[in-house]
Structure 1
Amino acid sequence: MEVVIAPAAELAELAADAIAELLDRRPEAVLGLATGSSPLGIYDALAERVASGRTSFAAAHGFTLDEYVGLPAGHPCSYDAVIRAELVDRVDFAPGAVRGPDGTAADLLAECSRYEAAIADAGGVDLQILGIGTDGHIAFNEPGSSLASRTRVKTLTEQTRRDNARFFDGGLPEVPRHCLTQGLGTIMEARHVVLIARGEAKAEAVRQLVEGPISTRWPATVLQLHPHATVLVDEGAASGLELASYFRWTYDNKPAWQRL
């Protein structure tokens, strides 16, 4: 696991650079796309690269991490609508190239199996963008999630619902209680995982992720077992790390040829 501590704007550029380099090497790459506030700077940087002709998503594909259950199609808080507004409609993905789980499906269990199969049929995810919740969840894998879990229906914690209530006009009562989410086992199959976290509110989750024991109490800690995991954190999010000085030193002295 590589930990990079830098200002938020620099972190976004580093992640965008990694995605652009991947697309240069493999234009048909499969990207895992997170929603929420943490990746917004990355998506801004990628949109700017596409607008200037430096990067193209024309042959690429994408899969989102999760979706609320029961929100009608087109609801502005559905993650399908969010990822389109944040990234898809700002770059040059081909129509239908980005897919997510269908939270309106009549048979949710069948939809979860279909989504797992779609990711596998696409060849798996080359680079997965992740955020992290204050309770250590990634995607909607709440504390207690199996470290080997696959795409499934999950019940959201009240903390997660409160954290997300700011996006809903009616506040907490409008936040769904259930979701479809890629499992931790699904996420771990991505060939490169890039997690970004900003602000002191994420400091404890980041400390557990990087330096704590692997535990279902803090689901993101499973990433300690990933062969290519990159954790991008600003000073606030890094404020609880005992080894912060070491992480800064190793990043400053990494070989010039070594990418994220």
Structure 2
Amino acid sequence: MSNPHNPIVVHPDAETLGSAVAADIADRMSEKIAAGGRFLLGCPGGRSPQTTYAALADEAANRGLDLGSLVIVMMDDYLQEVDGGWDHIPADAHNSCRRFAREDIQAVLNRAVPEEHRVPDANVWFPNPADPSAYDGRIRDAGGIDFFIIASGAGDGHVAFNPPESPVDSRSRIVELAEQTRRDNLATFPDFPSIDAVPTHGVTVGIATIAELSKAGALVLVGADKQSAFGKLADGEGYDPSWPATVYRLIDGAVLHSDAAAAGDRA
């Protein structure tokens, strides 16, 4: 049965979904900024949240929001092995989450507002592969994430790079990517010629990072390839480690927003 604490809303298309989620975020952001505080927005990369980012840019422009107080808290990034350790892949790589944050979130939002109201580079955060556990402390010290946008892997329910069976108390860390996660990312990043080109490791927020440090949130599902994910996420209660995106249920009031394509015959 559906969890009454986490409503489900099915929208006719991805654009309508993005507008609804963006309006919710903008309402909360307006209140926080008006009170003189920073607004921390937890952000995934990939396809599902793109209409939300575009609609949030429209909301910022229409409301005259000062995005200088917005902090973009990214969930993860691919890693490469260097000198026996790990570091971000190059920031200009097609699959770089740093590139995505710069071009598909920060630049999209900044184009909508005057220069003096833009998100500064210092307000785009990533976990540091040299000390990933420090990310949780940084977020906590900043007052927590005001709103977390959550997405689900199509084939295995990964959230950020947390693979199936990730424990509920896991925190920001380096992980080996599950094979299905890497296959899902062939669709997310079509410039990959094959699964062999997909990195094997990433740095990621943990399940507890999302659940314990988020004040509000929404899970977004877009596209027909997410129908299996919708079935896993729409029914049941609590966190199911076999499908990590169920972490959204641990954020009180977090809404599952799906477009009709993802909901399938349950639309």
Pairing 1:21-40 to 2, within 5 Å after superposition = 21-27=27-33, 28-40=38-50
- SS at structure 1 position matched to 2:229: helix
- The letter for the 2-side match of 1:16 is A
Residue aligned with 2:68, SS: coil
The 5 Å alignment of 1:167-246 reads 167=189, 168-189=191-212, 190-212=214-236, 214-239=239-264, 241=266
Match of 2:115 in 1: none
Instruction: Report SS of the residue matched to 1:112.
Output: coil
Partner of 1:142: 163
Instruction: Report the CA distance between 1:53 and its aligned residue.
Output: 5.5
> What is the aligned counterpart of 1:4 among 6, 9, 16?
9
The answer as to whether partners of 2:152 and 2:245 remain within 8 angstroms in 1 is yes
Structure 2 residue corresponding to 1:96, chosen from 119, 122, 129: 122
Map Cα deviations across residues 114-172 of structure 1 (whole Å, 9 max, x no partner).
Answer: 21221112111010011111111111111111122111111112222122124234442
State the distance in 2 between where 1:18 and 1:188 align.
Answer: 19
The answer to whether the 8 A contact 2:22-2:52 is kept is: yes
1:133 maps to 153
Structure 2 unaligned spans of 5+: 1-5, 81-88, 111-117
Question: Is the 2:39–2:71 contact (alpha carbons within 8 Å) kept by the matching residues of 1?
Answer: yes
1:149 maps to a residue whose letter is S
State the AA in 2 paired with 1:236: A
**How many Å apart are 1:239 and its aligned residue?**
2.6
- Aligned counterpart in structure 1 of residue 96 of structure 2, from 73, 78, 103: 78
* Alignment check: 8 A CA contact 2:23 2:59 kept: no
Contact 1:210–1:221 (CA under 8 A) maintained in structure 2: no
**Paired residue type of 1:74:** D
Q: Distance in 2 between matches of 1:232 and 1:64?
A: 20
Taking the aligned partners of 1:171 and 1:123, their CA distance within structure 2 comes to 41
- The separation in 2 between residues aligned to 1:153 and 1:175, in whole angstroms, is 16
> Considering only aligned residues, what root-mean-square deviation do their CA atoms show, in Å?
1.9
- Secondary structure of 1:233 counterpart: strand
User: Aligned partners of 1:45 and 1:55: how far apart in 2?
Assistant: 13
State the secondary structure of the residue aligned to 1:31.
strand
Uncovered stretches (5+) of structure 1, i.e. residues with no partner? 245-260
TM score, norm. by length of structure 1: 0.84
Query: Is 2:138 the counterpart of 1:114?
Result: no
Q: Is the 8 A contact 2:157 2:164 kept in 1?
A: yes
From 26, 47, 52, give the equivalent of 1:42: 52
SS at match of 2:240: coil
Matched, 1:18 2:39: no
CA-to-partner distance for each residue in 1:38-95, whole Å, 9 max, x for gaps? 0000111122333455333121212100111111243232101111111112322123
Deviations 1:4-40 (A, max 9, x none): 1112211100111011111110012111111100000
Aligned residue number for residue 113 of structure 2: none
Q: In structure 1, what is the Cα distance between the partners aligned to 2:150 and 2:249?
A: 14
Which TM-score applies when normalising by structure 2? Answer: 0.82
Aligned residue-pair number: 236
Q: Is the 8 A contact 1:23 1:56 kept in 2?
A: no
C-alpha distance in structure 1 between counterparts of 2:91 and 2:262, whole Å: 34
